[in-house]
Amino acid sequence: MGNDGGSIPTRRELVKEAARALTTSELKETRQEQQEYHWTTDPISTKPLAQPVVSDSSGKLYNKDTVLEYLVEGARKDDAERITGGAIKSLKDVVEVKFEVGSKAGETATGEIWVCPITGDRLGPSSKAVYLVPCGHAFSGTAIKEVSGEKCLTCETAYASNDIIAILPTIDTDIARLSLRVKTLQEKGLSHSLKKASGGNKKRKKKDEVVVVVNDGRKVQQDMQQELVQDKTSTAGNDAPAKDSHKSINNASTASLTAKVLDEQERTKKRKLENQNVRSLFSTRDQAKPSGKSSDFMTRGYSLPVSDKR
């Protein structure tokens, strides 16, 4: 084959080789780069981390102002939900991490270096660091492991062993433990900061709600059942109309809603009464049978006598 501009591909060109697995050293370098990035950069806003810094239940670090912008203003909502995995729904789901700043300036963008207040070791990607819930003070993993007791070494706040949160964990056991801790707290109705989770009192609120069924099938829930219940002693012997019962409700929005529902019920009753009056004008008997005395005044009339004409 020649002089026609064509070529015949060889087997080596057709058969593609499988992707080469990374070596141990390459995996270590990649993990180290990722750790350095997350220790110095907010993953949502991509800005340098600067105190105040907060952490979620998985140990990730964020700038507090970034979390506030996401929760209040909805800024970067898609990126925030993807990065956090939906773990941050309120400020109760984060804890402010209180880092001890070293005396010497580091190489970070903010010019700070975070150290353990007990051992003096630098807290960063090269060492294991943890913080305590609920106080948020950060220490090196060695200091917490070797010092006995379950009180914070800085503020002496009591904490449980399960409330030691690894910062940006890489070990599988630490990741699994934090995941199990989240499930345990959810079963107890608690958030990451050990405060009551948002919406945890829904069952209790439902007991204090009055459900008014409107005639078209809609249900209107009114809070504070005690506002709708009047004093029996004051209403004994008083046949006040039901439409005035909303005047005793203190909540303006609830009173307005109650008045609308009662007015609609009153109009429905009137329509039913009018329909019954109209029906009474017409006979419901079988037209094939003679009316006789059972006929109503609309069907009961005078009949002309039949004369025998021969």
pLDDT tens figures, 175-199:
999 999 999 999 999 999 999 987 6
pLDDT surpassing 50 at residue 141: yes
- Average pLDDT score, the chain: 76
pLDDT tier for residue 127 given thresholds of 50, 70 and 90: confident
Phi-psi category of 181—alpha, beta or left, where left has phi over 0 and alpha has psi -120 to 50?
A: alpha
pLDDT at position 265, please? 79
What is the pLDDT, as a whole number, of residue 237? 46
- ∠152-139-129 over CA atoms, to 5°? 135
pLDDT of residue 259: 78
Domain map of the chain by residue range?
A: 33-187, 203-281
Per residue in 34-54, pLDDT (tens digit) is 999 999 999 999 999 999 999
Q: Looking at the predicted structure, is the pLDDT value of residue 209 above 50?
A: no
The kind and range of the H/E element at 140 are strand 138-140
Is domain 33-187 in CATH 3.30.40, yes or no?
Answer: yes
Q: What is the pLDDT of residue 301?
A: 52
DSSP annotation of 242 reads: G
Percent of the chain with pLDDT over 70: 65
For residues 130-147, average pLDDT: 91
Contact 70, 80 (CB under 8 A): yes
| pLDDT of 3 | 57
**What's the sign of the alpha-carbon dihedral 223, 226, 230, 232?**
positive
Q: Quick one: average pLDDT of 251-266?
A: 73
Instruction: Identify the pLDDT of residue 208.
Output: 44
- H-assigned helices in 230-288: 232-235, 252-279
Which ranges of 85-228 would DSSP assign to H, the alpha helix?
Answer: 141-146, 172-187, 202-207, 225-228
Residue 187 CB burial class (10 angstroms; 0-12, 13-18, ≥19): exposed
* pLDDT score of 187: 93
Give the sign of the dihedral formed by CA 254, CA 257, CA 260, CA 266: negative
3-state SS string for 15-41: CCCCCCCCCHHHHHHHHHHHHHHHHHE
Q: What is the predicted pLDDT for the residue at 239?
A: 44
Compute the half-sphere exposure of residue 195: CA atoms within 13 Å on the CB side of its CA. Answer: 11
103 or 222: whose pLDDT is higher?
103
The rounded distance, in Å, linking the Cα atoms of 38 and 168 is: 8
Rounded to an integer, what distance in angstroms lies between the CA atom of residue 226 and that of residue 205? Answer: 13
pLDDT band per the 50, 70, 90 thresholds, residue 280: low
Q: pLDDT at residue 240 above 80? A: no
Residues in the chain: 310
Tell me what pLDDT residue 150 has.
Answer: 81
The answer to pTM > 0.85 is no
Neighbouring-strand partners of residue 100:
115
pLDDT given for residue 263 in this prediction = 81
Residue 205 has pLDDT above 50, yes or no: no
The answer to whether the CB of 118 falls within 8 A of the CB of 143 is: yes
The pLDDT assigned to 247 comes to 54
Can you give the pLDDT at residue 64? 95
Query: Percentage of residues in the chain with pLDDT exceeding 90?
Result: 38
Please tell me which residue, 287 or 169, carries the higher pLDDT value: 169
